[in-house]
Amino acid sequence: MRYHLMGIGGIGVSGLARLLKAQGHEVSGCDAKINGMGEQLISEGIPVLEKHSPEHISEELTALILSTAIKDSEPEVVQARALGVPVLRRIQVLDEIMQGAPVSVGIAGTHGKTTTTSLTAVAMIGGGLDPSAFVGSVLPDFEGSNVRVGSGPFVAEIDESDPQFQHLKVSLAVLTNLEDDHVSPDGKATENYYASISDLHQAFKNHVDGAKKLIYCADWPGLEEFTRDHPERVSYGIGQGVYQARNLSATDRNQSFDLYVQGAFKGRVHLTLLGNHNVLNALAALAVVHELNGDVSGAIESLKHFKGAGRRWQEIGSREGALIVDDYAHNPTKVQAALQAARQTGRRVRVIFQPHRYKRTQLSWERYASILTDADEVILLDIYGASEPPIEGITSGLILNRMQDLGFQQVFYARTFEEAIQQALHDLQSNDLLLTLGAGDVTQLAPRLLP
């Protein structure tokens, strides 16, 4: 079969391209620009064309596959429909692939999906389950890929930013948490935003209710009630739930906890990731292995060597003793979790934060301001709009002014990366943690902090 994928340079569509190629299909793709991911796909034997054109479409195609960002008015889409070529969205193809696996595991939630999916895949490997996996980041454990192909269960990150996720059926669903991200401030639904919180919650409920079994976080407020009607559910949490973490301890580079299942001690878990949120992520991963009758001891051993997911508390290096870390945190709860992990190091926490999307900032600037006061110093960059147009009056200045109103004076605005670097390296101390936060191009700044 032949598939052409639009937006192939994105993390989600690139993963589908790799999975389809691994199944023996003929795969090609295109994007507005050939980025690093596109170059990597080309090196793997997947043709990637620069820019979009209806000339990419022929009657021989089995289907045209679209990322969430591609609109129906695109010439390629119009051409495909004119030729009778089926047009499929990314989530539809993922659903078909997962249905072909002996067991499907979906990791859903507002926060922690990528790390939890990554930990689950690595734990399943250690547990002898030989999983296939689809993750929203590149993994060193997958040799720099975002997918793994195995003969066992299929575990995938389920992204709620595509409202069609609610129709995806899995054997085992994991629900890490539930918050109001991807809700439109003007009450209008778009390809990335729900019209209301109730619409978002209903989509999550549709997804988890369709699963044969559900694993949910007992620590997250409201999930006990949200999931109570599910006939087959188990919980995990720190000191509560069927799967429990007890006796937590940490250093500035790692942490550990005791795993208990239904009150029985199963082993000491060692993680290379900091923060209570990552204790919960690891608990979810181990719960999956246990529920699938995998080797929990082997899973625990594998987590000890987990190398992390790209842009999730990723250590970039050090400068004069200062530790430089990059993290994808881009909504208030994720930023708060990253700061909690940063505080766990005992270092002076200096944050470079790039707000992500104008609508999200419009909804959350006050929360960002309050949360960021937990740092010792904050450098604010301009909002990274992604595909969104600017909104009048919505700038990083809202966060800066609010932080100053709260009495936090060590906050600075940087117009450029160069200004941010200059401020970050000013008065650099060996006990500093320089933490770049955001889902935009701020990740390119972190390596520039190295000597």
Query: What confidence tens digit (pLDDT) does each residue in 86-137 have?
Result: 999 999 999 999 999 999 999 999 988 999 999 999 999 999 999 999 999 9
| Terminal C-alpha separation, the chain | 49
> Could you give the domains of the chain?
2-89 (3.40.50.720), 101-304 (3.40.1190.10), 314-449 (3.90.190.20)
Q: Rg for the chain (alpha carbons), in Å? A: 22
In this prediction, residue 414 carries a pLDDT of 98
What's the pTM value of the predicted model, to 2 decimals?
Answer: 0.85
Residue 142 sits at the vertex; the CA angle it makes with 87 and 124, to the nearest 5 degrees, is 95
Rounded to an integer, the average pLDDT of 292-299 is 98
* Residue 384: pLDDT over 90: yes
In this prediction, residue 126 carries a pLDDT of 98
- Helix (H) or strand (E) holding 78, with range, is helix 75-83
Per residue in 51-81, pLDDT (tens digit) is 999 999 999 999 999 988 888 999 999 999 9
Rounded to an integer, the average pLDDT of 433-449 is 96
CA distance linking residue 147 with residue 259, whole number of Å: 28
Residue 28 in tokens: 């090609």
Average pLDDT, the chain: 95
Burial of 386 per CB tally in 10 Å (0-12, 13-18, 19+) = middle
Residue 230 sits at the vertex; the CA angle it makes with 228 and 236, to the nearest 5 degrees, is 70
* Residue 310: pLDDT over 80: no
Burial of 164 per CB tally in 10 Å (0-12, 13-18, 19+) = middle
Q: How is residue 51 annotated by DSSP?
A: S
Write out the DSSP string of 219-279: TSTTHHHHTTT-SSEEEEEES-SSEEEEEEEE-SS-EEEEEEETTEEEEEEEES--SHHHH
Rounded to an integer, the average pLDDT of 352-360 is 96
* Residue 161: pLDDT over 90: no
Per residue in 178-208, pLDDT (tens digit) is 988 878 888 888 777 898 999 999 999 999 9
In this prediction, residue 208 carries a pLDDT of 96
In this prediction, residue 192 carries a pLDDT of 73
Percent of the chain with pLDDT over 90: 87
Residue 255 in tokens: 């942490």
In this prediction, residue 204 carries a pLDDT of 96
**Maximum Cα interatomic distance, the chain, rounded to a whole number of Å:** 64
Q: At what angle do helices 276-291 and 113-126 cross, to 10 degrees?
A: 40
CA distance linking residue 407 with residue 349, whole number of Å: 17
CA distance linking residue 276 with residue 238, whole number of Å: 8
